[in-house]
Chain A
Amino acid sequence: DGGITQSPKYLFRKEGQNVTLSCEQNLNHDAMYWYRQDPGQGLRLIYYSQIVNDFQKGDIAEGYSVSREKKESFPLTVTSAQKNPTAFYLCASSILASGSNEQFFGPGTRLTVL
């Protein structure tokens, strides 16, 4: 089955620690995205990648980093510089990085900072 997988589903982190969220897709999509969702709010774009070895900052990139070494994979690292990292993180992909394309989403990772 084609789709997007994210792991882990739940993640707990101590303050001051970096943590990496995994996102893998087997849809052969060029574009991948990371969003943050806070209660009662819409999705906010953290980073996106239109092609392998290239990525761009979204609206709230501070305190986050990404890599895109393979087409299938787009891991997100939440660094200790992110002041309020507790949130629900969603990874998505689309055929191309074009506004006309719908996005396909993974099941999300819920990060809690203790």
Chain B
Amino acid sequence: AQKVTQAQTEISVVEKEDVTLDCVYETRDTTYYLFWYKQPPSGELVFLIRRNSFDEQNEISGRYSWNFQKSTSSFNFTITASQVVDSAVYFCALSGVYTGGFKTIFGAGTRLFVKA
């Protein structure tokens, strides 16, 4: 089955804390793509990162970093020194041949609250 699990429903941190959002996926594909999107209170999802299954290099972009581990089928997202503006719902997503190639499966999302 093709599936994306975000076990953390809500996380609350205080500003400047580091926080990691977990994402575990299941797929039969050998080639697949993983994504993270941010949904601020305004509602529209904003693309953050794409990773293909052959690229296990971790990536850092400013305060954001992503850890992709095929051995554990995980694609975790860490925010360093969190800020109030990071408060949002974060979605992990998967696409590949068995999801229809053109379709993307989204996890249920993790709501992050960053308190000042």
Contacts and interface: CB of A to CB of B under 8 A. Distances in A.
A106 B44 contact: yes
Contact of B106 (A4, A42, A48, A102): A42
Interface residues of B, number: 29
Given A99-B95, A100-B95, A107 B106 contact: no
Interface string A14-34: 000000000000000001000
A48 B103 contact: yes
A100 to B, nearest CB: 5
B50 interface: yes
Contacts of A63: none
B72 to A, nearest CB: 21
Interface of A: 4, 31, 40-45, 48, 50, 58, 88, 90, 92, 97-100, 102-108, 110
